[in-house]
Amino acid sequence: MTKKENMTTKTDTELAKLLTDTREALRTERFSAAGARAKDSNAAGKFRTTIARVLTEQTARALRRSKSEVGK
């Protein structure tokens, strides 16, 4: 899992890749847990937290870009 401080240092492409990888990991975790007990019961929550952090950083960057374009 990635801490929030590391989200600001990543590039847009790195954030997009992290988002797709984390969503895929969450999907596989969800389907593998359907048949048996999960090894790490908190894994799904950690994945969702990471996804939310990535989306929050992407939204913040988009807002910063739009504010800078309006100011020109």
Region of residue 20 (left: phi > 0; alpha: psi -120 to 50; beta: else): alpha
Residues 55 and 7: beta-carbon distance below 8 Å: no
Domain range summary for the chain, segments of one domain joined by +: 4-70
- Note the pLDDT tens digit of each residue in 17-62: 999 999 999 999 888 866 776 678 888 999 999 999 999 999 999 9
pLDDT of residue 14: 94
The structure's pTM equals: 0.82
pLDDT at 16 over 80: yes
Using alpha carbons, list the distances in angstroms from residue 14 to 28, 30, 42, 68: 21, 24, 25, 22
Contacts of 71 (CB under 8 A, 6+ apart): none
